[in-house]
Structure 1
Amino acid sequence: MSSELPVPRTAVPVGITDPVEKARAELKAALFAIEEKANVPKRVAVAADQGITSARRFSRESPAIAAAAVVGVAVAVGAAVWGIVRLYTR
């Protein structure tokens, strides 16, 4: 029974001796790495999910501070909108 860890898509497996198979594995890993780097919507979705998870954890650990932060952001957004409308109507 082997205890090998799964190889990430962007890595080349160790132990390939055939030069053609090694070149194919390197090309495949390079193409997957380019795809991961260029897929901006997926990267944004992952970052948003991580942010939501950390915000939920923070709100569970410190509900009073989280509520104060929400009120503070709402006041800041309201003040910004009020200021923009006031500047526009002058």
Structure 2
Amino acid sequence: MTSELSLPRTAVPLGITDPVESARAELKAALAAIEEKANVPKRVAKATDRGVTQARAFAQRQPAAAVAAVVGVAAAVGVFVWGAVRLYTR
């Protein structure tokens, strides 16, 4: 096989002249793309990791604002839960 640099799994390598090999490479790339798109737990894990990394960077850059954001979110969740329980118990 030709020397491949670092191709993504969803890419079809260039220079394939055999139509059967070309079809196989295209099918392999299409299946990889479908797997990437349909694997929701993996996508959620990646998004969560990105969010945690961004939150940590924000907390290191602006600790006071990070504390204020945490307190604000906690207060909003508390008000939401209080309101939901109050509506439920009426």
Separation in structure 2 between the aligned mates of residue 86 and residue 46 of structure 1, nearest angstrom: 37
Alignment of 1:8-87 (within 5 A): 8-87=8-87
Contiguous gaps of at least 5 residues in structure 2: none
Q: Secondary structure at the match of 1:45?
A: helix
For this pair of structures, how many residues does the alignment match?
A: 88
Deviation at 1:4, TM superposition (A): 5.4
Q: Output the TM-score relative to the length of structure 1.
A: 0.89
Q: Secondary structure at the match of 2:13?
A: coil
The ranges of structure 1 where at least 4 consecutive aligned residues each deviate by more than 4 angstroms after the TM superposition are none
Deviation at 1:86, TM superposition (A): 2.1
Percent identity between the aligned chains? 76
Q: Output the TM-score relative to the length of structure 2.
A: 0.89
Superposed CA RMSD in Å reads 1.5
